[in-house]
Amino acid sequence: MAQLGFVGLGVMGSRVAKRLLDAGHHVTVFNRTKGKAKWLLDLGAAWGESPRAVTEASDIVFTMVTNTEALASVAEGANGIFAGLTSGKIYVDMSTVSPEFSRKLAADALTRGASMLDAPVSGSVVTLEEGKLSIMVGGKEEIVQQVRSILLAIGQKVTHVGGNGLAVTMKIATNLSLAVQMLAFSEGVLLAEKSGIPRAIAVEVLLNSVIASPMVKYRGPFVLEMPQEAWFNVNMMQKDMNLALELGRLVDVPLPTTAVTNEMLTAARGMGLVEQDFAIVFRVLAQMSGVEK
């Protein structure tokens, strides 16, 4: 079993680390708030005092953090991952961040004789816990093969999409559809509801119709009752939408539905709903429709 490190124990990251523990690997973890690691330590994980300490204790180190700035904070500096990244080690970042910054880190890893992969995931807490995540990977094919069996302990599908930075690009291209679909679903529910169909019935019909993608099936019920803990909050979703819009401008691809949906997320922020799951766009649209005050 491999000596693994994991930095970033949020809603998804902590559960990924648990799957690695469940697979029998030795996992050293770090999080800015140590309390979030307690349940993993109780399950047998080791604690590293810094990202550097985690990296020094590991052959392969993973990160899963909120954004580009958070990744820079754990990767760089005297106590960062790169301070402990030596020849032969592999660094796998599972965050959704700027592709340009991801490629910069990959180049920095090479100067140390190490290798880096970007390996974001597609799925939710539910699909993660069921072992059904899809993982896209960017980097050298031979390095992907070295970690493939470990990645398969996290999710059931591992796809090498190309060079460094391309997996996170693919993740951005994927994630923009999550919020767009959620907004379209909300429009359908509210159109039915204001026409006299009870909301619960409208949801039931839509979840059993041709529009029910996997995301709609697990997030659609949120229009009836929001989760106590956001699976992916407004801040996180809008970060990904902004990355998509930036990339669209860079490669000259217009993203009209992404832009409109992003404005609904801005409205959610203005209404003080930033910590809610991004499915809260339903409430924003409902208030605009005069359904909820």
Whether 137 shows a pLDDT value over 70: the answer reads: yes
Confidence (pLDDT) at 293: 58
Q: Over range 187-210, report the average pLDDT.
A: 97
Pick the CATH number of 3-163 from 3.40.50.720, 3.40.50.1000, 2.130.10.10, 3.40.1360.10: 3.40.50.720
Whether 67 shows a pLDDT value over 80: the answer reads: yes
| CATH code for the domain defined by 170-288 | 1.10.1040.10
Confidence (pLDDT) at 292: 76
Distance CA 36, CA 34 (A): 5
Residue from 124, 112, 104 nearest 165 by CA: 104
DSSP helix/strand/coil, 120: coil
Catalytic status, residue 171: yes
For the chain, strand residue ranges (E) read 3-7, 26-30, 46-47, 60-63, 90-93, 115-118, 121-122, 133-138, 155-162
- Map out the domains of the chain as residue ranges: 3-163, 170-288
Q: Which of 18, 89, 171, 239 is catalytic?
A: 171
pLDDT bucket at 229, cuts 50 / 70 / 90? confident
Per-residue tokens: 93: 């970042």
